[in-house]
Structure 1
């Protein structure tokens, strides 16, 4: 065999081996492209797109520590609370589709409890948790647990406007130019009857401030409640708030409590922003001709007491997302043996 034949044979062998190895080569799949969380600025700060969707989500909440006092109590009352909320939004052919949840967790410390039946005693935690909000909105329609549509009061901590959280179906028509009209069907009791509370509201918001007018009907005693709240910007720093309310009889929207209120009430509050950190306010509210619902006769019982409350509030922003509120109130009138001072110091750390 000559050298030329040897070289040609070696080259052919190498090509055959290389071809066999190429046929057996392992193919490595390329990794899927990573989808990073994207900022969603359509609905304001704090929203992010849920990966793989066009839904924007914001996670928020707060940690609260509050010290309450009342000269009718035996000592300080302290509360530690936490709130967590989820706000999800997306756009549809019917408008913005919003889903909102807020959970509240609270601990009031321990109490020394004595069993009056056998005389035994023990330390017991006073704590609880509940759903504050759980609703969805599509366009102008809202369904779920929310503040009553009748919700509206002064910015003080002494005042009363009636109503609370409630399950409801609500529709709001935005007429433009700061004008909106809302109507709601609300249910105050579970499995009570088939007739809901009916509430209406007209809102006007302009550069000078806002006016909200409320009307509600309660079929339990066939009574109604009316209310108006105005907030007027006297200057950029000074705001005047006014409230007037009327109750034909006992309703769930009572100014004192559920089915306990007053025939009429007027109040005012003056709030002044000293700077971007400090705001102070003071005001009062007068309550005339008290009454309550008599569930034995299904009628309103007139008591006729006249009462009043005054109070002052200091709000201070310590740092970003950490706010302090100090409230001092005084309540007096026919319903009180003696006037009562009360108030609280509240620290809210939000996120």
Structure 2
């Protein structure tokens, strides 16, 4: 369910993701009000808002072969936050510390992150995925932290080459 069969092949594909936008008014950073520094001046030389956006894209493919199903999965994000305008001086306030840049303000900041990128075939998982040691009863459903690197409490996975078998 949710997959699109690619005509002429044995491959199905599923595209997903989300787009999130946030605007904070009365601030020149995301978590702090504009009460000090350039932002505290509340004049034409400072911003009165901060905007953020995050886009997530995931691609899941399944291909039937003579030896079983080959699965590929990719999940990446792009995050962007507005810069902070600090007037005609030589210092732009971006984040927690001032940054000298000799312009009218700090540029917006963007970041690209790959959460998961793996291939699965015949019990093998190769790439960046959630740890095979992640227990299903920990973290969000159980409201406790497992503390394992790459476990269910992480969203960015861990690099691995693993083999799993079902002795069911």
Structure-1-length-normalised TM-score: 0.32
1:124 lines up with 2:82 in the alignment: no
Residues 129, 158 of structure 2: 8 Å contact kept = yes
Residues 96, 139 of structure 1: 8 Å contact kept = yes
Residues 118, 129 of structure 2: 8 Å contact kept = yes
Q: Distance in 2 between matches of 1:120 and 1:64?
A: 30
Distance change >3 Å, CA 74–CA 173, structure 1 → 2: same
Distance change >3 Å, CA 115–CA 169, structure 1 → 2: same
**What residue in structure 1 maps to residue 32 of structure 2?**
74
**What residue in structure 2 maps to residue 218 of structure 1?**
none
Structure with more contact order per residue of length (Cα contacts < 8 Å, sep ≥ 6): 2
Q: Secondary structure at the match of 1:123?
A: coil
Q: Secondary structure at the match of 2:165?
A: strand
Q: What's the CA shift for 1:109?
A: 2.7
Higher gyration radius (CA): 1
Q: What's the CA shift for 1:135?
A: 0.7
- How many residue pairs end up in the alignment? 127
Q: What's the CA shift for 1:159?
A: 5.1
Q: Distance in 2 between matches of 1:74 and 1:51?
A: 52
Q: Which structure's residues are more often strand, by fraction?
A: 1
Q: 2:161 aligns with which of 161, 164, 169?
A: 169
* CA-atom RMSD in angstroms: 3.2
Residues 115, 121 of structure 1: 8 Å contact kept = no
Q: Distance in 2 between matches of 1:62 and 1:82?
A: 6
Q: What's the CA shift for 1:77?
A: 7.7
Structure 2 unmatched ranges of 5 or more: 25-30, 34-48, 85-92, 151-156
Distance change >3 Å, CA 59–CA 119, structure 1 → 2: closer
**What residue in structure 1 maps to residue 27 of structure 2?**
none
**What residue in structure 1 maps to residue 99 of structure 2?**
115
Structure 1 unmatched ranges of 5 or more: 1-44, 177-351
